[in-house]
């Protein structure tokens, strides 16, 4: 083999032009092969596996976050439309769910089907089915019947999120509003 410094030429000649016969430098080859290996891994990670979030999911997560901040700064607890908007935001619903599981599930059960507390998914309501009614019930409680008041403990935003979580269990607004039943006992 020719020494590194020695210049050897390949045999063929085109139009009087000859080629060097030298190996590509190792650092160059290493970069090439590393890039090939990396590209396979990258392709698999982003396009074949479900490990990484898609761009769509990432955009949605950001939009949810932005909307959540906007809504949190503008809670009008008498605005039923606003509660329904919150119920369509998966971030808000998830955070309402966490609050519910920590504070409410003991009496209302984690599937909201009711135990000591009322069933919250059957659409029969003692204290009103409108989001603003539900908010008020949770905020003030029904002390004489054993439903604690949560206003001071959880505050406006957390309670609004819990209401959004409860609404999210009722499918769409029209259905909930048309099928709601007043319950008395
Ligand atoms: C200590 C038990 C207990 C806990 C904890 C509790 N509740 Fe209740 N809840 C009740 C009872 C009992 C009632 C029924 C009140 C009545 O009969 O008027 C009720 C009623 C309700 C109602 C009204 C249902 C209707 O038919 O109008 C809502 C909404 C509600 N609870 C939501 C919540 C939420 C949200 C939380 C957590 C932040 C929570 N509750 C925590 C016991 C509880």
**Model confidence pLDDT, tens digit, residues 16-64:** 999 988 888 999 999 999 999 999 999 998 888 878 788 888 999 999 8
Atom of ligand 1 nearest to the CA of 99: 38
Q: Which domains does the chain have, with CATH numbers?
A: 9-48 (no CATH), 55-182 (1.10.760.10)
Q: How far apart are CA 88 and CA 171, in angstroms?
A: 10
Ligand 1 centroid – CA 104 distance (Å):
7
Structure-token pair, residue 111: 């599937």
Residue 2, pLDDT score: 47
Residue 75 has pLDDT above 90, yes or no: no
Coil, helix or strand for 39?
A: helix
HEC string of 117-181? CCCCCCCEECCCCCHHHHHHHHHHCEHHHCECCCHHHHHHHHHHHHHHHHHHCCCCHHHHHHHCE
Ligand 1 centroid – CA 167 distance (Å):
15
Ligand 1 centroid – CA 33 distance (Å):
64
């Amino acid at each position: 083999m020719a020494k590194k410094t020695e210049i050897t030429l390949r045999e063929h000649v085109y139009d009087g032009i000859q080629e060097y016969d030298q190996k590509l430098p190792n650092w160059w080859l290493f970069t090439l092969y590393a890039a090939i290996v990396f590209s396979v891994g990258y392709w698999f990670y982003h396009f074949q596996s479900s490990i990484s979030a898609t761009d769509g999911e990432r955009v949605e997560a950001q939009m949810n976050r932005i909307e959540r901040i906007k809504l949190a700064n503008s809670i009008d607890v008498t605005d039923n439309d606003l509660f329904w908007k919150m119920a369509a935001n998966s971030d808000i619903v998830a955070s309402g769910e966490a609050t519910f599981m920590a504070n409410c599930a003991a009496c209302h059960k984690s599937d909201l089907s009711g135990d000591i507390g009322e069933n919250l998914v059957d659409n029969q309501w003692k204290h009103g089915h409108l989001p603003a009614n539900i908010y008020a019930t949770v905020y003030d409680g029904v002390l004489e019947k054993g439903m604690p008041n949560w206003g001071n403990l959880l505050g406006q935003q957390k309670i609004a999120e819990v209401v959004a979580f409860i609404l999210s269990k009722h499918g769409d607004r029209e259905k909930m509003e048309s099928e709601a039943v007043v319950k008395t006992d």
